[in-house]
């Protein structure tokens, strides 16, 4: 079995969307997609991740949008950091953050 893992620094998911990241997602649909520097509030991440779910479903990688596992952690400092992870594979455990890193600057960096 081959698993495709992609990691990308999106340099702001809203900016990446303006540049057509959903077309890249439709063409590539990696099994696991790790994103750094998401830098957006949850209310703006959710609709973009929904679009990715649509692209994965349209490409036949998942049955429907709900089949795309989505995780993200927002930085508590506005406009900084933020990570996201999408998986077309089952997720058996989820952990956010690292023990002992409680400062705001350390948030939005670990899934």
Domain membership flag for residue 45: yes
What mean pLDDT is predicted for residues 27-54? Answer: 97
CATH (domain of 46): 3.60.10.10
The number of distinct structural domains making up the chain is 1
What mean pLDDT is predicted for residues 54-60? Answer: 97
Q: How many CB atoms lie within 10 A of CB 83?
A: 20
Q: What is the pLDDT of residue 111?
A: 95
% of the chain with per-residue pLDDT over 70: 100
pLDDT class for 102, splitting at 50, 70, 90?
Answer: confident
Q: In whole angstroms, what is the distance from residue 57 CA to residue 86 CA?
A: 13
Q: In whole angstroms, what is the distance from residue 81 CA to residue 95 CA?
A: 17
pLDDT class for 13, splitting at 50, 70, 90?
Answer: very high
Domain membership flag for residue 111: no
- The residue range of the domain holding 22 is 5-106
């Amino acid at each position: 079995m081959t698993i495709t893992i992609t990691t990308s620094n999106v340099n702001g998911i809203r900016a990446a969307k303006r540049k057509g990241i959903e077309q890249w997602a439709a063409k590539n649909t990696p099994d696991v997609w790790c994103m750094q520097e998401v830098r957006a509030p949850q209310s703006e991440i959710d609709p973009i991740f929904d679009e990715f779910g649509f692209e994965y479903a349209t490409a036949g990688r998942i049955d429907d949008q709900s089949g795309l596992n989505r995780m993200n952690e927002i930085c508590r400092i506005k406009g900084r950091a933020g990570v996201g992870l999408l998986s077309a594979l089952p997720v058996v455990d989820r952990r956010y953050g690292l023990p002992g890193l409680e400062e705001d600057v350390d948030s939005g960096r670990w899934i």
